Amino acid sequence: MTNSNSTHRPGPLAGIRILDLTWVLAGPYAAMILCDLGAEVVKVERPPHGDVARTTGPFVNNESMYFQSVNRGKRSISIDLRSGEGRDLFLRLVDQADVVMENFTPGVMDKLGLGPEALLERNPRLVFASTSGFGQTGPWRDRPALDIIVQGMGGVMSITGYPDEPPARPGTSIGDICGGLYTAIGILAALREREHSGLGQSVDISMLDCQIAILENAVARYFTTGTEPGPLGTRHPSATPFQAFPTADGWMVVALSWGVATQWELFCAELGLPELVGDERFETSFKRTENHAELEPVLFEATRKQSTDHWVSVLSRYGIPIGPLNTIGQAVNQEQIAAREMITTVQHPIAGDVTMAASPLKLSRTPGRVYGYGPVFGQDTAAVLEEWLDVPAEETASLEEAGVVLTKGGPDIAAYLSA
């Protein structure tokens, strides 16, 4: 049972071999991006259960759709790296690899004898990428961290939500996702540099670092003004109108462009509020932001008089950036999303049709694409050992009998769900 196009892919990373030891979200997300770009990503999972994400719902026929969403197109092998024979087998695979990825707590790979120094000594062209909560250095390196921890410690949650309300977590796991994105970028940069030097290197990505890196305006405001940025709801800290507005049947989002003076006048005219144009409190975006408390109720009263479709139709004629505030169901079913082929369905051998987000990487000749389903646990063990190391089927069977590898199995989801 093997993913289609598992080794022969036309993407820009075709020919790049990746051993992916990551689990749950940050690391698997990074590896999925590289897989979408054509790399052969071999997910190395620990027997007998594999990636814990396989036990995360929702499920179809006991297959995790969460796992599918961040592991599509990969291959899965199962090797016990705690055994000497398993480590030796993995080291032989490292000899054939371009990239090794891991997101364990710092030091775990070193304890296994598989840390970056050991692997780079063995394969000097290797890129060894580590994604962790706090990075490989610093006083907190040994502390575990999950998405919400770095969001909280990185300040993101302090500027999310509404004033005078409890902290809010953004609706997606940006602590993990940003760590995954930066990991992919770091790996691509190291592979590019290797073309000149002929040498690999280690990539050290801290999820907390990534949260600091994406604060942009908040960091600039803090160091410039000395005041703590806080939550503003859907508002922008320095531009107005730039937020969600209630309508007769829902919500819309409007963001007047900087430097286009006529947009404010046109916006007020269509809302039936021409008197606002001559009001010196609202002459500029800066003044409108300063006087937002007086302006917002007036705008809300006007926008509630018509439907979202009405306002989108009318205001978009003037080039005013505007759109509906969609639910997830509405978002994934938009005609623009269909035109960009951002939703795709793959056939899974157990779960059947699995629908998921596609790759947003639209390269003109070698675009990102979904190469197949998230692998069944251990499904590619025999094939990868044969293709990479010329290990015959009989030897793989012997290794499986000794408990070094698994070619089938995985978590007992039914037992897990009934626990």
pLDDT above 60 (res 5) = no
49 pLDDT tier (thresholds 50, 70, 90): confident
What is the pLDDT, as a whole number, of residue 412?
A: 65
What is the pLDDT, as a whole number, of residue 414?
A: 61
As a whole number of angstroms, the distance between CA 160 and CA 72 comes to 31
What is the pLDDT, as a whole number, of residue 417?
A: 58
**What pLDDT, in 10s, does the model give residues 286-307?**
999 999 999 999 999 999 999 9
Average pLDDT, the chain: 94
pLDDT above 50 (res 1) = no
**What pLDDT, in 10s, does the model give residues 306-344?**
999 999 999 999 999 999 999 999 999 999 999 999 999
Residue that the structure tokens 């540099």 belong to: 193
Helix or strand holding residue 102 (H, E): strand 99-102
Residues 6+ apart with CB under 8 A from 190: 127, 129, 200, 201, 203
Count, residues in the chain = 419
What is the pLDDT, as a whole number, of residue 3?
A: 54
As a whole number of angstroms, the distance between CA 153 and CA 202 comes to 25
Catalytic residues: 236
pLDDT above 90 (res 263) = yes
As a whole number of angstroms, the distance between CA 106 and CA 110 comes to 8
| β-bridge partners, 205 | 131
Q: How far is CA 413 from CA 42, 69, 224, 233, in A?
A: 23, 17, 52, 39
What is the pLDDT, as a whole number, of residue 48?
A: 86
Tokens of 374: 């998230």
% of the chain at pLDDT higher than 90: 92
What is the pLDDT, as a whole number, of residue 9?
A: 79
Tokens of 288: 């409108």
Q: β-strand 405-406 against 75-79: which pairing, if any? A: antiparallel
Average pLDDT over residues 379-400: 96
As a whole number of angstroms, the distance between CA 56 and CA 40 comes to 25
